[in-house]
Amino acid sequence: MSEHKDNQLQQVLSLLADGEFHSGQGIAEHLSVSRAYIWKLMQQLQELGLDIESVTRKGYRLAKPLSLLDHEALNRDTNFDCQVLLTTDSTNQQLKGQNFAHHKVVTAEYQSAGRGRRGRQWVSPLASNLYWSLGWQTHMPVQQLGGLSLVVGLAVANALTKLDIQGIELKWPNDIRYHGKKVGGILIELSGDAVGGLQVIIGVGLNIDMHPQAAQAIEQQWCNVNDIFEQQALPKKSRQQILIACLTELENYLQTFEAYGFAGFLDEWQQKDECMDKKVVILQADKDIKGIGAGVDATGAFLLQTGKGIKPIYAGEVSLRLRE
C-alpha cells in the first residue's frame, strides 16, 4: 500500500476511533476527497477486519471504539525514532536494507505477512495487538548475539512487571509466556554488515486484545495481556502505554547487553525460565532429543540435561517443547 493511502486510512480511522457516527460528507471534507472515495476507504478498512456500521443519514461508526497508536506521543516518551504505519507486510521487513537505521522503531496496526520464527506466520489483526521492530546497530561480534533474544524477552517481561503484571515467564529462545500460554514472541534478523557494526532487526509481537476468531490459525495455546490484567484484577493499560514501557526497558537492557554481554543476565533469566528443571524435548530437523531443562549458559545456549551429561543447544533451527 502507498504511504499516501496508508495515511488516508489512518486519518479515517482516527476520526472513527471514538465509536461515534461520522457523516460521509464530514469525513470527505476532512480529507479533501469525494464521498465516493470515502466509501472505497471504508471498504478497505472492512477488508482489514474492522467492523464498521453504515447508517443512512447518520454516517459511519465503529462497532467498538479504538485506541490507536500515536506516533507523536511515542517519539516524545521514548528515545527512539518511531514510525507508526496502519498496514505493512512485516515491520521487520520494513526495516531491512536501505530503510535500516539505528534506534528506528517501526510499528504497525496490522501486518499482512507477519513473520514468526522458523518461517511461521505471526497472526497480526488490526488495532488489537502490538507489532514492532527496532533497528539496532552494534559492534558486538555476531557470536555474542546468541543471548540477544533472551535479553529482549527479559526487557519485555520486566516492562510488564512494571505495569504490575506478575508471573510472566520466558521459554528459550524467544517466547514470552503466561501460565503455559504464549503472549508474545521475538524475531531477531540481521539486516547486513555495515561499516561501523552489525545491523540487527529486533521484532516483537505482543498479544494485547486479540479476538479468538482472528487467532484461529494459531496452533498453540495463547493469551492476551488484557486477559492477564483482568485475571489479576488490574486496571487495563493502553497499547500505547504498554509499548512505551517495553521500549523504555529495551533501551536499558540493550545498553547493558552491549557493554557486558549476556553473562550478567543469567540470574534474571533463571528466575523467569519456564523450562528450568522441567521435562523438555528439543525438536531438530533430523532427530528429537529428550532431557530436562538446566538453564542457559553465558552465551545464551540452552542447557539440556541428558543421560550423557549436559548438552548445550544453540538456537538456529531448533524448537523447544515442554513434555508432560
- Asked if residue 272 binds ligand BTN (CB under 6 A), the reply is no
Active-site residue (options: 117, 171, 237, 272): 117
Active site residue 171: no
Of 295, 248, 245, which Cα lies nearest the Cα of 267? 295
Radius of gyration of the chain (CA): 21
Active-site residue (options: 120, 182, 236, 311): 182
- Asked if residue 257 binds ligand BTN (CB under 6 A), the reply is no
Of 105, 206, 114, 117, which Cα lies nearest the Cα of 160? 206
Active site residue 182: yes
- Asked if residue 92 binds ligand BTN (CB under 6 A), the reply is yes
- Asked if residue 115 binds ligand BTN (CB under 6 A), the reply is yes
Smallest distance, ligand BTN to C-beta of residue 213, A: 20
- Asked if residue 91 binds ligand BTN (CB under 6 A), the reply is yes
Distances in whole angstroms, Cα of residue 148 to Cα of each of 91, 128, 151, 301: 18, 27, 5, 11
d(CA 99, CA 211): 32
Omega before 173 within 30 of 0, i.e. cis = yes
* Eight-class DSSP state of 208: S
176 residue type, one letter: I
d(CA 41, CA 29): 14
Q: Are strands 81-88 and 104-111 parallel, antiparallel or unpaired?
A: parallel
- Asked if residue 87 binds ligand BTN (CB under 6 A), the reply is no
- Asked if residue 104 binds ligand BTN (CB under 6 A), the reply is no
Q: Which of 78, 133, 207, 248 is in the footprint of ligand BTN by CB under 6 A? A: 133
56 — phi, psi (to 5°)? Answer: -55, 140
Measured from the CB atom, is 89 or 251 closer to ligand BTN?
Answer: 89
Q: In angstroms, how far is the first alpha carbon of the chain from the final one?
A: 46
CB-CB contact of 138 with 258 (8 Å)? yes
Smallest distance, ligand BTN to C-beta of residue 32, A: 33
- Asked if residue 173 binds ligand BTN (CB under 6 A), the reply is no
CB-CB contact of 103 with 81 (8 Å)? yes
- Asked if residue 261 binds ligand BTN (CB under 6 A), the reply is no
Cell of residue 305, nine digits? 540435561
d(CA 247, CA 133): 10
Applying the rule CB under 6 A, the residues between 279 and 308 that interact with ligand BTN are: none
How many Cα atoms sit within 13 Å of 172 on the Cβ side? 34
For ligand BTN, which stretch binds (CB under 6 A), given 62-70, 86-94, 139-147, 294-302? 86-94
Active site residue 61: no
Size of the site for ligand BTN (CB under 6 A): 21
Measured from the CB atom, is 24 or 205 closer to ligand BTN?
Answer: 205
Measured from the CB atom, is 203 or 261 closer to ligand BTN?
Answer: 203
Cell of residue 188, nine digits? 531477531
Q: Which of 185, 261, 291, 300 is in the footprint of ligand BTN by CB under 6 A? A: 185
Q: Which of 60, 110, 122, 262 is in the footprint of ligand BTN by CB under 6 A? A: 122
- Asked if residue 136 binds ligand BTN (CB under 6 A), the reply is no
Q: Which of 78, 111, 199, 207 is in the footprint of ligand BTN by CB under 6 A? A: 111
Residues that bind ligand BTN in the complex, under the rule CB under 6 A:
90-92, 111, 114-117, 120, 122, 131-133, 174-175, 185-187, 203-205
Catalytic residues: 117, 182, 321
